[in-house]
Amino acid sequence: MSDTKEFTSTAFNEFLSEKKLMASQCKKCNAKYLPPRSLCTRCYSGEVEWIELKGRGTLTAYTVIAVGPSSMIEEGYDRKNHYCSGIVQLDAGLRISARILGVDVKNPAAIKIGTPLEVDFLERGEGENKKTFLAFKKAN
Ligand SMILES: [Zn+2]
Protein backbone atom coordinates (compact mmCIF):
# COMPACT_ATOMS: atom_id res chain seq x y z
CA MET A 1 0.00 0.00 0.00
CA SER A 2 1.45 3.34 -0.99
CA ASP A 3 -0.36 5.52 1.53
CA THR A 4 2.11 7.65 3.44
CA LYS A 5 -0.17 9.25 6.00
CA GLU A 6 1.25 9.35 9.51
CA PHE A 7 -0.08 6.78 11.92
CA THR A 8 -2.27 9.09 13.95
CA SER A 9 -5.89 9.26 14.99
CA THR A 10 -6.23 12.26 12.65
CA ALA A 11 -5.22 10.09 9.70
CA PHE A 12 -7.48 7.30 10.94
CA ASN A 13 -10.40 9.76 10.95
CA GLU A 14 -9.49 11.02 7.47
CA PHE A 15 -9.71 7.46 6.23
CA LEU A 16 -13.10 7.10 7.92
CA SER A 17 -14.34 10.05 5.86
CA GLU A 18 -13.27 8.03 2.79
CA LYS A 19 -15.27 5.12 4.20
CA LYS A 20 -12.18 3.11 4.93
CA LEU A 21 -11.43 1.31 8.18
CA MET A 22 -7.66 1.36 8.38
CA ALA A 23 -5.20 -0.20 10.81
CA SER A 24 -1.43 -0.26 10.90
CA GLN A 25 0.59 -3.41 10.41
CA CYS A 26 4.19 -4.12 11.29
CA LYS A 27 6.19 -5.04 8.18
CA LYS A 28 8.52 -7.24 10.22
CA CYS A 29 6.26 -9.34 12.46
CA ASN A 30 2.84 -8.58 10.89
CA ALA A 31 1.31 -7.42 14.18
CA LYS A 32 -1.74 -5.24 13.52
CA TYR A 33 -2.76 -2.16 15.46
CA LEU A 34 -6.08 -0.45 15.85
CA PRO A 35 -6.04 2.43 16.59
CA PRO A 36 -2.96 2.60 14.36
CA ARG A 37 0.50 2.91 15.91
CA SER A 38 3.72 3.99 14.26
CA LEU A 39 5.86 1.69 16.43
CA CYS A 40 5.33 -2.02 16.81
CA THR A 41 5.03 -2.84 20.51
CA ARG A 42 5.77 -6.52 19.86
CA CYS A 43 9.10 -6.27 18.02
CA TYR A 44 9.80 -2.51 18.39
CA SER A 45 10.09 -2.05 14.64
CA GLY A 46 9.21 1.36 13.26
CA GLU A 47 8.48 -0.14 9.85
CA VAL A 48 4.72 -0.15 9.72
CA GLU A 49 2.22 0.28 6.91
CA TRP A 50 -1.48 1.02 6.51
CA ILE A 51 -3.82 -1.84 5.80
CA GLU A 52 -7.52 -1.61 5.03
CA LEU A 53 -9.76 -3.87 7.08
CA LYS A 54 -12.83 -5.53 5.64
CA GLY A 55 -14.86 -4.36 8.59
CA ARG A 56 -16.63 -7.55 9.51
CA GLY A 57 -16.72 -8.98 12.99
CA THR A 58 -18.83 -9.89 15.96
CA LEU A 59 -20.12 -8.09 19.01
CA THR A 60 -18.15 -9.02 22.15
CA ALA A 61 -19.37 -6.46 24.66
CA TYR A 62 -21.85 -3.61 24.66
CA THR A 63 -23.53 -1.03 26.76
CA VAL A 64 -26.72 0.91 26.16
CA ILE A 65 -26.20 4.53 27.08
CA ALA A 66 -28.91 6.85 28.32
CA VAL A 67 -26.81 9.89 29.21
CA GLY A 68 -24.07 10.36 26.64
CA PRO A 69 -21.50 13.06 25.89
CA SER A 70 -22.69 16.39 24.48
CA SER A 71 -21.96 15.27 20.90
CA MET A 72 -24.50 12.47 21.30
CA ILE A 73 -27.05 14.69 23.00
CA GLU A 74 -26.80 17.01 19.98
CA GLU A 75 -27.71 14.04 17.81
CA GLY A 76 -30.88 13.63 19.83
CA TYR A 77 -29.91 10.84 22.20
CA ASP A 78 -31.10 11.22 25.77
CA ARG A 79 -32.78 9.40 28.66
CA LYS A 80 -35.68 8.50 26.40
CA ASN A 81 -33.69 7.75 23.26
CA HIS A 82 -30.76 5.49 24.09
CA TYR A 83 -27.88 4.35 21.92
CA CYS A 84 -25.60 1.37 21.96
CA SER A 85 -21.83 1.42 22.18
CA GLY A 86 -19.93 -1.83 21.87
CA ILE A 87 -16.66 -3.64 21.37
CA VAL A 88 -16.35 -5.38 18.03
CA GLN A 89 -14.04 -8.34 17.55
CA LEU A 90 -12.98 -7.98 13.93
CA ASP A 91 -12.33 -10.96 11.70
CA ALA A 92 -8.83 -9.51 11.21
CA GLY A 93 -8.11 -10.27 14.87
CA LEU A 94 -8.44 -6.75 16.21
CA ARG A 95 -10.94 -5.16 18.56
CA ILE A 96 -12.40 -1.71 18.37
CA SER A 97 -15.10 0.21 20.17
CA ALA A 98 -17.80 1.79 18.04
CA ARG A 99 -21.43 2.73 17.90
CA ILE A 100 -23.65 -0.29 17.29
CA LEU A 101 -26.64 0.29 15.03
CA GLY A 102 -29.68 -1.81 14.29
CA VAL A 103 -29.96 -3.37 17.73
CA ASP A 104 -32.92 -3.02 20.06
CA VAL A 105 -31.75 -0.43 22.59
CA LYS A 106 -35.16 -0.51 24.26
CA ASN A 107 -34.58 -4.15 25.11
CA PRO A 108 -30.83 -4.46 25.87
CA ALA A 109 -31.21 -8.03 27.17
CA ALA A 110 -32.11 -9.06 23.60
CA ILE A 111 -28.79 -7.80 22.20
CA LYS A 112 -26.66 -10.89 21.72
CA ILE A 113 -22.93 -11.26 22.21
CA GLY A 114 -21.61 -12.82 19.01
CA THR A 115 -24.01 -10.94 16.71
CA PRO A 116 -22.34 -10.68 13.27
CA LEU A 117 -21.61 -7.06 12.39
CA GLU A 118 -20.34 -5.08 9.46
CA VAL A 119 -18.78 -1.66 9.38
CA ASP A 120 -20.85 1.43 8.70
CA PHE A 121 -19.83 5.06 8.43
CA LEU A 122 -22.01 7.74 10.00
CA GLU A 123 -21.76 11.19 8.49
CA ARG A 124 -22.77 14.10 10.67
CA GLY A 125 -22.70 17.84 10.07
CA GLU A 126 -22.24 19.87 6.91
CA GLY A 127 -19.31 21.36 4.98
CA GLU A 128 -16.23 21.99 7.10
CA ASN A 129 -17.97 20.63 10.16
CA LYS A 130 -18.73 17.37 8.48
CA LYS A 131 -17.40 14.40 10.43
CA THR A 132 -17.51 10.69 9.87
CA PHE A 133 -17.93 8.32 12.79
CA LEU A 134 -17.21 4.65 12.94
CA ALA A 135 -20.21 2.43 13.55
CA PHE A 136 -21.18 -1.17 13.04
CA LYS A 137 -24.54 -2.58 12.04
CA LYS A 138 -25.97 -6.07 12.00
CA ALA A 139 -24.57 -8.00 9.06
CA ASN A 140 -26.98 -9.66 6.65
ZN1 LIG B 1 6.51 -5.98 14.81
98 C-alpha vs ligand 1 centroid, how far in Å? 26
Q: Which residues pair with 26 in a beta bridge?
A: 48
110 C-alpha vs ligand 1 centroid, how far in Å? 40
Q: Quick one: pLDDT at residue 88?
A: 98
Neighbours of 105 (CB within 10 A): 19
**pLDDT single digits (tens) 67-106:** 999 988 988 899 999 999 999 999 989 999 999 999 999 9
**pLDDT single digits (tens) 33-62:** 999 999 999 999 999 999 999 999 999 999
14 C-alpha vs ligand 1 centroid, how far in Å? 24
Q: Quick one: pLDDT at residue 128?
A: 86
Q: Is the pLDDT of residue 129 over 90?
A: no
Instruction: Give the model's confidence band at 4: pLDDT under 50 very low, under 70 low, under 90 confident, else very high.
Output: confident
21 C-alpha vs ligand 1 centroid, how far in Å? 20
List of residues 6+ apart from 59 with CB closer than 8 A: 86, 87, 88, 89, 100, 111, 112, 113, 114, 115, 117, 136
In terms of Cβ atoms closer than 10 Å to its own Cβ (0-12, 13-18, 19+), residue 54 is exposed
**pLDDT single digits (tens) 10-41:** 999 999 999 999 999 999 999 999 999 999 99
Instruction: Give the model's confidence band at 3: pLDDT under 50 very low, under 70 low, under 90 confident, else very high.
Output: low
